[in-house]
A and B are shown apart, each in its own frame.
Chain A
Amino acid sequence: MYRYDEFDAAFVRERTAQFSDQVRRRISGELSEDQFRPLRLMNGLYLQLHAYMLRVAVPYGTLSSRQMRMLAHLARTYDRGYGHFTTRQNIQYNWPKLRDIPSILADLASVEMHAIQTSGNCIRNVTTDQFAGAAADEIIDPRPVGEILRQWSSLHPEFTFLPRKFKIALTGSPNDRAAIKFHDIGLMAALNGAGEIGWSVYVGGGLGRTPMIGKLINAYVPHEHLLSYLESIMRVYNRYGRRDNKYKARIKILVHEEGLETIKAQVEEEFAQVRGGRLTLPQEELDRIGAYFAPPPFKSLPVAAIDIAREKILDAAYGSWLENNLHPHRVPGYVSVTISLKPIGAAPGDATDAQMEAVADLAERYSFDELRVSHEQNLVLPHVLVSDLPAVYVALVEAGLAEGNAGLISDMIACPGLDYCALANARSIPIAQEISRRFAAPERQKEIGALKIKISGCINACGHHHVGHIGILGVEKKGTELYQITVGGDGTEAAAIGKILGPGFEAEAVPAAIERLVEAYIARRQTPDEPFISAYRRLGDAPFKEALYGTA
């Protein structure tokens, strides 16, 4: 795993010291809130409805046990014993006090973590596939490039005051689990004619008020020119991005308004000038960074089959967990395990300090000390021996983290919504809880199969509702909460934005409406194996609209 080099460590230390002093001066009254606010936001400190919120970056979703233990320590010592993992692969603490922030940042720095670039109009934390470095379908581990992007974008003088925030996601696999087409820039590993690995670059994707699918701006950029190419995009954006209007300031609007071809020509022009210059990535540098992500010492084992049918007969819950929460590993005898942070009726993405400790222990014992955070608000043990699965499961049961629902209807994304967020219009978490309870029975979930529900408490779409197979968006109407339901969204390589089929529903009516959609799907699917999203694509809106609103 990557370790901070001298520069990083010194920088984070310095920033922590600076911010401690700024907090001190704010408390003593030397700094006004107007002066302090941008400083605290630069350090990930927001003010929410009930308290401050600290957002800590988990670069490309990778954590060690030691880091996870520190996150647990922070939850226990400075917060209320829990943290919230987000769709940005970050963790948020909901109750820190201003005076404690310097200590929290110092604690984080001691494990090479920080809260920088989790806010503001800069390049934010780079996100990637939660199975990076482990997945059987991966062409390349995307994390070394993720790290290079982190170093390039961190505090880049040209990019600290962009027209708006900027998000980059990358995947090393053709099966996109990182929603790359819904980021300002999305990168997907690609092969050229000679079989060399480079990157397909998508630009102008995003969710929020104006959802857009990223457009392919370059099908193949070799490693060595990637930074030059991205910097060219950033320069074009920096120059032409709409600073006059917050709602039009993201690169997606620029690409949409100017057209891909215009932007592409501008980027190419810029690229022609910088290509081969100081941003060229020599292979040695790639190798140097890559060495930090070297595969752990896997054993050489035969392929290990898991007899799920048999296990299900012996222990149904364990069988479901095996069936849903394992992901194929590139090394025989190993699997990646999804630890669901969606127990029935719980707040999606929340983990207690004890659970974080338990997960850290498991990573240490069974996964070469490695952990991942997924954008779907779950945790992952990337490298687990098949023969260790029973022991891992037992420990997860003890920690209350053994829900075998990964990828099923109760594995929902939900943003904090109006229970915490100052920007929210409606609550998200209680809606997720009610749906989760309604579909709690494992047999029912299995019958429904793969189905992604995503819930946001406002149009900012942190809960990715636009790309939920079923999306739920909270809005405010006459002082109450109302929920719009969308159908047909898809965050994968088959990217699609969900459609609103009619008027919104009151909170109490949402679970039944979801049930009607599910029933409409089950009644019309060709086989039990045809997933919801495929059936929707085949059938179109009509049956789902009718399910929601009747035939009138």
Chain B
Amino acid sequence: MDILTGNELLSGATVYLDTEGRWVEDLQAARIFLPEEAEARDAAIAATKKTGRILSLEVEAVKLVDRVVVPLRIRERIRAAGPTAPAFERQHLDEDSHVSI
């Protein structure tokens, strides 16, 4: 199963597409696309590209562990958590940097 992720244009912040079609900071709110939902996923990608506001758009494989979304790649786990050493909070969206499709 997959999620969609990218970086928001103004802040550069890591964001995920949620079930409402909004690009949000919270990985746990990410919409999960099952293998049979490839069409919906591709439509979401196309709609996102049209906004021109989400960069480095990627499809990322995840698994659910006790209902928690866990990306398979360590790279994605670090993107979701922020730098680890020393730990820094992730970049946040600004008021005017909310994007939806």
Contacts and interface: CB of A to CB of B under 8 A. Distances in A.
The number of chain A residues touching the other chain, given as a range, is: 20 to 34
A430 B72 CA distance: 21
A99 B10 contact: yes
A480 interface: yes
Interface stretch (A173-181, A317-325, A420-428): A420-428
A267 interface: no
Interface string A35-56: 0000000000001111110000
Contact of B74 (A80, A99, A422, A480): A480
A422 B76 CA distance: 10
Contacts, number: 75
Q: Name the prevailing secondary structure of the B interface residues.
A: loop
Contacts of B7: 47, 51
Contacts of B83: 50, 94, 419-420, 429
A51 B84 contact: no
A433 interface: yes
A422 B72 contact: no
A433 B85 contact: yes
A29 B14 contact: no
A419 B78 contact: yes
Contacts of A427: 78, 84-85
A51 B74 contact: no
Contact of A479 (B9, B12, B73, B94): B73
A418 B77 CA distance: 10
Contact of B10 (A98, A347, A426): A98
A476 interface: yes
Contacts of B56: 47, 422
Nearest to B6: A47
A262 interface: no
B10 A479 contact: no
A418 B74 contact: yes
Q: Name the prevailing secondary structure of the A interface residues.
A: loop
Contacts of A96: 12
A480 B78 CA distance: 12
A209 interface: no
A441 interface: no
A80 B79 contact: no
A429 B85 contact: yes
A524 interface: no
A44 to B, nearest CB: 14
B91 A51 contact: yes
A27 interface: yes
A444 B84 CA distance: 28
A268 interface: no
B35 interface: no
Given A27-B9, A427-B85, A429-B83, 15 more contacts: A47-B7, A49-B14, A49-B79, A50-B83, A52-B12, A80-B88, A94-B83, A418-B75, A419-B84, A422-B56, A427-B84, A429-B85, A433-B85, A476-B75, A479-B72
Interface in B60-94: 72-75, 78-79, 82-86, 88, 90-91, 94
A95 B14 CA distance: 12
Contacts of A419: 78, 83-85
